[in-house]
């Protein structure tokens, strides 16, 4: 997932300043900009966002800890999302999750031991008509099965 180097204060300020133009920049819009650029919220970003938006560090932590897409440690090189929403559930996503745990050698969300893959459970990826659905770095795949997931993450 791109930049592996720890982002400097300047990197973070650049990400915030170059966020898509909106009429009022907010804590959330700034955190999204940081998260989209570095795939996590580095510790120093909280203070920078607070300064930039004129809010307190508490305000920023409040928002950052609320939205479940934010994380505070770098993810693996690749993020694998597997949907557990009702459609995918009916179509067998619990079994897929269980199998993927086995495949990756982990028993919950998070990083594989080698740090290469991050597994996330998703509430809905928005392609229910192709369920069960999974995504690799936001790219969607339908009709999920263990073999299909294996094929798509092979070589990582």
- Judged by the rule CB under 8 A, the positions of this chain that interact with another protein are 20-24, 26-32, 36, 53, 62-63, 65-70, 83-92, 94-95, 97-98, 101, 108-109, 120-121, 123-131, 133, 138-142
Cβ 117 to another protein, closest distance in Å? 17
Q: Which is nearer to another protein, 44 or 130 (CB)?
A: 130
Cβ 57 to another protein, closest distance in Å? 15
Q: In this structure, what are the phi and psi dihedrals at residue 130, rounded to the nearest 5 degrees?
A: -110, 15
Q: Which is nearer to another protein, 62 or 105 (CB)?
A: 62
Residue environment code for 108-124, b if the CB has 16+ CB neighbours within 10 A, otherwise e:
eeebbeeeebbbbebee
The helix-helix angle for 57-66 and 43-53 (nearest 10°) equals 120
Largest interatomic CA distance in the chain? 50
Q: Which is nearer to another protein, 62 or 115 (CB)?
A: 62
Cβ 94 to another protein, closest distance in Å? 5
């Amino acid at each position: 997932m791109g930049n592996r180097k720890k982002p400097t204060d300047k990197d973070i300020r650049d990400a915030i300043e170059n966020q898509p133009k909106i009429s009022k920049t907010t804590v959330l819009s700034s955190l999204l900009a940081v998260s989209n650029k570095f795939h996590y919220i580095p510790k120093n970003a909280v203070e920078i966002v607070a300064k930039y938006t004129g809010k307190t560090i508490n305000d920023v932590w409040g928002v950052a800890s609320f939205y479940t897409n934010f994380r505070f440690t770098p993810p693996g090189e690749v993020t694998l999302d597997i949907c557990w929403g009702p459609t995918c559930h009916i179509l067998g996503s619990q079994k897929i999750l269980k199998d993927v745990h086995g495949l990756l050698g982990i028993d919950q969300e998070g990083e594989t031991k080698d740090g290469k893959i991050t597994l996330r459970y998703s509430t809905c990826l928005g392609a229910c008509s192709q369920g069960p659905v999974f995504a690799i770095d936001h790219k969607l795949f339908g009709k999920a099965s263990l073999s299909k997931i294996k094929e798509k993450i092979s070589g990582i």
